Amino acid sequence: MSSPSPQRPPPRPGAESVAIGSALQAAYDRLRIGRLGEAHAILAPLVEAQPRVADARYLLGLTLEKLNDRVGAAREFRAAITLDKRKPAYHLALGDVLGMDGDVKGAERSLRNALALDRRFEPAAVSLSTLLAITERYAEALQVTTPLVGAADASEALLSAHAVSLKGLERHDEALTAYRRAVVSAPQSGVAEHNVAATAGDLMLYPEAEAAAHRAFAKGIDAPETWLTLGRALQGQDRFDAAEQAFHEAIRRRPSYPDAHRSLSQLLWMRSEDLTAATAFVDAAIATYPMEGSLRLLKSSLHDYAGDAAGAYAVLAEALGPQSDATLHAAAARAAVPLDPVKAIAHAEAALALAPNEIQVHLSLCEAQLAAGRADEAERTAEGLRRARPLDQHVLGYLAVAWRLKGDPRYGELYDYERLVRPWRIDTPQGWSSLTAYLADLKAALERLHSLRTHPVGQSLRQGTQTGQSLRHSDDPAIRALFQAIDGPIRAHIAELGKGKDPLRARSLGGYAMKGIWSVRLRPGGGRHVDHVHQEGWLSSACYIDVPPAIEAEGRQGWIKFGEPGMPTQPKLEAEHFVKPEPGLLVLFPSYMWHGTVPFSGEAPRLTAAFDLLPAKPGATR
């Protein structure tokens, strides 16, 4: 929340004496320039002598707040409101100080009182919107700022608060527009430029992100967050040396900065496929900051994605102790699942004791229970998670595994492959004489984007590469035409699914919005997708651009498979459904459905595009 600013002029003293008015002005002038002791020396005796002067109580409250006496500040603001309930600034000041002390309900009530008195009082709108966003009530926060942001003179603070709510609602394009307006409103603000850079980066608008980051530096910002944003923008443009340097600059400014270490180590890994090189700087940071758990989590994940399950667990196990937090225990549980499910359950239960309301802790427990063959317990855990997060596709995936282990008929309804998994032939877009000709051009365009050596950390692919550039914002004609080629099959698939009460069809609105789109190039000799679900999707896909000759060999090499869970189970569950890849084939399926690929041999790679979809009304912007 924005803290009350002494730069707001105090309310007029009204009928008070000229002497009192002069004292109030003198106190305000000192408060404005930070001479807090002098302001307090004026206001404290004035309030003692004239306790019913509302403006004096208000200014004393602002002074006490700046002196970190929030209890005293709240007392003075309440006194001012008792004396004069009509001043929005008084209610705003009380709301802000209550929010700082964690009294969310009291803060919200006071801020709404301020807006009830003046619905266009921007500082109160900013504070209330920020408070609601902190508690993830983004839709309500947006309702607060929307009536005010249309004004031509909307402030940077208001536009930025509006953008935060839009981002919370996954409306990133609109958030970027608001942040761009904030730069116009405050042309000297480096923070406003940073916000543009970060949001443009989220949207993979990397040239804009880079330019905005440099403008932020020129306007006085030198924060590690801005260097990290610049590094990601450079990496998104395949300028890897410069990206590494930017990540190093972020770490130089904050040596234990986990996000910067994550970006740097992942880039080093993808460029070299060398675990020692990728973890070198993380190891140095851990040596200096041994209690920084996030660095341990990062190193463990690097070992995991390099195929070293035992090393991933060891990194965490050596850091566990009586003071370990729930996050570390939950990560240790997941790392232990393929090694020792019973030990994994113990770690998950330790995490649960520390953080009983944390979703990720329950997910780690459910995974360990499935690996240990405790299907009844896993079902109960998953059902509880589903009540808390009904749209989380990972939760549905875990619940499906529990039902399958138990022989529950609901599994067959959820994993009805014949009805829910469907291959489609993509359309030939305008400008190409045949689908074969189009796929050749699309292959060439996508191949140019696969400039790294190996897979990223945190994704499903192994021994292959994934594009970091945005296909949605590509200027290449063949890539832009992909959206036309897949649109018809997607709409036909949604129409064929129809409406229903199951978790997939119940969400259908008749149309779709694209959550993300990328390309994957798998290498022969082990390239594959490990079994996974798409946690934030609704419908997911695999669109085949080029496939290797090995798909014709025995063993369904390179085929997509469905039904095999992404964690060990007791008993082991095998894949139940397979689809053979063909150039131009688009396979659509529920995001909650476990899927992976069979490794393939030979010398030719396997090239795909993939995307996630969310429900939308027909005609909505994709």
| 70-83 and 88-100 helices, crossing angle to 10° | 160
Residue-by-residue DSSP string for 247-308: HHHHHHHSTT-HHHHHHHHHHHHHHH--HHHHHHHHHHHHHH-TT-HHHHHHHHHHHHHTT-
Using a pLDDT cut of 70, give the percent of the chain over it. Answer: 97
Core vs surface per residue 251-281: b (16+ CB within 10 A) or e? bebbbebbbbbbbbbbbbbbbeeebeebbeb
Residue 510 belongs to a domain: yes
Q: What is the pLDDT of residue 110?
A: 98
Give the three-state DSSP class for 586.
strand
Amino acid at 495: A
Predicted TM-score of the model (pTM): 0.86
Sign of the alpha-carbon dihedral angle for 330, 331, 334, 339? negative
* Tens of pLDDT, residues 294-323: 999 999 999 999 999 999 999 999 999 888
Token pair in block for residue 312: 């991933």
Quick one: which of 533, 540, 543, 524 has its CA closest to 598?
A: 524
Task: Round to whole Å and give the CA distance between 353 and 239.
Answer: 45
Residue 155 belongs to a domain: no
Residue 304 belongs to a domain: no
CB 401 within 8 A of CB 573: yes
* Tens of pLDDT, residues 106-137: 999 999 999 999 999 999 999 999 999 999 99
Using a pLDDT cut of 90, give the percent of the chain over it. Answer: 91
Q: What is the DSSP code (8-state) at residue 505?
A: G
Q: What is the pLDDT of residue 302?
A: 95
* Tens of pLDDT, residues 265-284: 999 999 999 999 999 999 99
Residue 326 belongs to a domain: no
> Is residue 261 scored above 70 in pLDDT?
yes
Task: Round to whole Å and give the CA distance between 91 and 85.
Answer: 8
CB 164 within 8 A of CB 135: no
End-to-end CA distance of the chain: 34
> Is residue 621 scored above 90 in pLDDT?
no
Region 398-416: mean pLDDT is: 97
| CB count in 10 Å sphere of residue 356 | 10
Burial grade of 572 (CB within 10 A; 0-12, 13-18, 19 or more)? exposed
Burial grade of 339 (CB within 10 A; 0-12, 13-18, 19 or more)? middle
Token look-up 């994550």 returns: 262
What's the CATH number where 444 sits? 2.60.120.620
- What's the domain count of the chain? 1
Q: What is the pLDDT of residue 620?
A: 64
Alpha helix (H) residue ranges in 415-544: 417-420, 435-447, 477-497
Q: What is the pLDDT of residue 5?
A: 46
Task: Round to whole Å and give the CA distance between 290 and 319.
Answer: 8
Q: What mean pLDDT is reported for the chain?
A: 94
Strands 585-590 and 577-579: unpaired
Residue 260 belongs to a domain: no
pLDDT band of residue 13 (cuts 50, 70, 90) is very low
Q: What is the pLDDT of residue 583?
A: 98
The CA-based diameter of the chain, rounded to the nearest angstrom, is 97
Give the three-state DSSP class for 554.
coil
CB 333 within 8 A of CB 364: yes
Token look-up 């530096």 returns: 217
CB 159 within 8 A of CB 182: yes
Residue 581 belongs to a domain: yes
Q: What is the DSSP code (8-state) at residue 578?
A: E
Region 491-509: mean pLDDT is: 95
Task: Round to whole Å and give the CA distance between 510 and 498.
Answer: 8
Core vs surface per residue 282-298: b (16+ CB within 10 A) or e? beebbeeeeebbbbbbb
Task: Round to whole Å and give the CA distance between 257 and 237.
Answer: 23
pLDDT band of residue 6 (cuts 50, 70, 90) is very low
CA 527 to chain centre: 28
> Is residue 569 scored above 80 in pLDDT?
yes
List, in order, residues 6 or more apart from 225 with CB less than 8 Å away: 194, 198, 250
Residue 575 belongs to a domain: yes
Q: HSE (CB half, 13 Å, CA atoms) of 402?
A: 22
Distances 425 to 245, 487, 489, 581 between C-alpha atoms, Å: 44, 11, 7, 11
Region 569-593: mean pLDDT is: 97
Residue 568 falls in which region: left (phi positive, over 0), alpha (psi -120 to 50) or beta: beta
Give the three-state DSSP class for 472.
coil
| 359-371 and 393-406 helices, crossing angle to 10° | 30
Q: What is the pLDDT of residue 10?
A: 53
Amino acid at 205: L
Region 404-424: mean pLDDT is: 97
CB 195 within 8 A of CB 178: no
Q: What is the pLDDT of residue 19?
A: 87
Residue 50 belongs to a domain: no
Token pair in block for residue 164: 């935060």
Region 540-556: mean pLDDT is: 95
CB 173 within 8 A of CB 203: yes
CB 422 within 8 A of CB 491: no
pLDDT band of residue 473 (cuts 50, 70, 90) is confident
Long-range CB contacts (within 8 A, 24+) of 319-324: 319/290, 319/293, 324/293
List, in order, residues 6 or more apart from 418 with CB less than 8 Å away: none
Q: Rounding to the nearest 10 degrees, give the CA dihedral for residues 156, 157, 159, 161.
A: 160
Structural domain that includes position 530:
419-616
